């Protein structure tokens, strides 16, 4: 009965994780649409300001008390990664790279999330899991090379750094979500970060202005409401229930969802062997789903 209960919880966690990844999958193309007319600093920091305002409403409406002081260090780590570093760095990188190219660079995030989970949450994935994760990551990278992603650029390095910061924040957020709850973690992280971000955001607005096309504002609205807030609700809940390493592998699906979105929204081409690569990645995720992971 206990094993069945554990499996059921892991399945539920994966379901939550997929919903989060589905929301995140449009982040890069939406960011690219936004930064065509808006300054990257405005997009990168402004999305957090808008999301923080909504987070305050959510916390107030649910009568949430301020987290205990012992949890603030973890919330600051979450805020530093997914509220500051990833949004700002990815917005700058999306001025230099196609959205599909950027999605490929972030293909290492699932592996990085698993590594961060093993350190922060002290999960111990089996060798079979690591082989499946590495296979999935290599598949996405090889797919990138053959799909014409091009050579590494400085923007790729920046985006890779953004991904590593997010991976650490995912692991820390998954740990905190077991205590505070999934949506509470991102809401409190946004509230903590908002005062720090408000000054540079205001300076960017004064310097660059807020004149943009409706399409740019639509992209900005998506990354503010969905990418920076709502997608994190199921994501952190999934990490808490199903485990950081296992649920983190759902991110392997994100490049293909992003590439599909890029084709629809931006007219970017899809390579003919995308389906084959996607099937290999799905298989890797399935193997990881059934691989043993020791959790504390």
Q: Are 229 and 190 in contact (CB under 8 A)?
A: yes
Q: Strand, coil or helix: what is 96?
A: coil
pLDDT at position 150 is: 55
What domain count does the chain have?
A: 1
- Alpha-carbon distance of 118 to 224, in angstroms, equals 30
User: For the segment 88-112, what is each residue's pLDDT rounded down to a tens digit?
Assistant: 887 787 777 665 566 666 677 888 8
Is 201 inside a domain boundary? yes
Spans of the chain, pLDDT less than 50:
1, 3, 5
pLDDT at position 271 is: 60
Is 203 inside a domain boundary? yes
Q: Are 110 and 282 in contact (CB under 8 A)?
A: no
Residue 268, number of CB atoms within 10 A of its CB:
18
Q: Are 227 and 261 in contact (CB under 8 A)?
A: no
Q: pTM, whole model, 2 decimals?
A: 0.83
User: For the segment 109-145, what is each residue's pLDDT rounded down to a tens digit?
Assistant: 888 888 888 888 888 888 888 888 888 777 776 766 6
Q: How far is CA 55 from CA 43, 77, 189, 196, 282, in A?
A: 18, 18, 9, 16, 34
- Containing structural domain, residue 220: 12-294
Is 162 inside a domain boundary? yes
Is 7 inside a domain boundary? no
Is 67 inside a domain boundary? yes
Is 237 inside a domain boundary? yes
User: For the segment 15-27, what is each residue's pLDDT rounded down to a tens digit?
Assistant: 999 999 999 988 8
pLDDT at position 1 is: 42
- Alpha-carbon distance of 88 to 82, in angstroms, equals 9
Is 275 inside a domain boundary? yes
E strand map for the chain: 124-125, 293-294
Is 64 inside a domain boundary? yes
């Amino acid at each position: 009965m206990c094993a069945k209960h554990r499996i059921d919880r892991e399945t539920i966690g994966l379901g939550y994780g997929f919903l989060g990844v589905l929301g995140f999958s449009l982040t890069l193309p939406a960011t690219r649409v936004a930064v065509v007319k808006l300054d990257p600093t405005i997009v990168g920091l402004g999305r957090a300001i808008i999301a923080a305002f909504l987070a305050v409403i959510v916390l107030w409406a649910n009568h949430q008390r301020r987290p205990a002081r012992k949890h603030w260090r973890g919330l600051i780590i979450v805020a530093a990664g997914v509220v500051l570093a990833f949004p700002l760095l990815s917005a700058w990188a999306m001025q230099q790279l196609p959205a599909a190219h950027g999605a490929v660079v972030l293909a290492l995030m699932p592996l990085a999330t698993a590594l961060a989970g093993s350190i922060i949450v002290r999960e111990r994935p089996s060798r079979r899991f690591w082989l499946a994760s590495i296979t999935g990551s290599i598949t996405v990278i090889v797919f990138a090379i053959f799909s014409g992603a091009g050579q590494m650029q400085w923007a790729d390095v920046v985006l890779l750094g953004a991904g590593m910061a997010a991976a650490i924040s995912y692991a820390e957020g998954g740990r905190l979500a077991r205590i505070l709850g999934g949506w509470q973690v991102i809401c409190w992280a946004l509230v903590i970060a908002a005062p720090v971000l408000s000054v540079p955001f205001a300076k960017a607005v004064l310097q660059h202005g807020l004149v943009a096309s409706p399409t740019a504002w639509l992209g900005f609205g998506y990354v503010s409401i969905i990418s920076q807030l709502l997608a994190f609700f199921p994501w952190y809940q999934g990490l808490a229930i199903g485990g950081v390493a296992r649920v983190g592998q759902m991110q392997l699906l994100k490049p293909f969802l992003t590439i599909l979105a890029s084709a629809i929204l931006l007219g970017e081409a899809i390579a003919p062997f995308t389906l084959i690569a996607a099937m290999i990645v799905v298989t890797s995720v399935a193997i990881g789903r059934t691989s043993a992971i020791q959790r504390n």
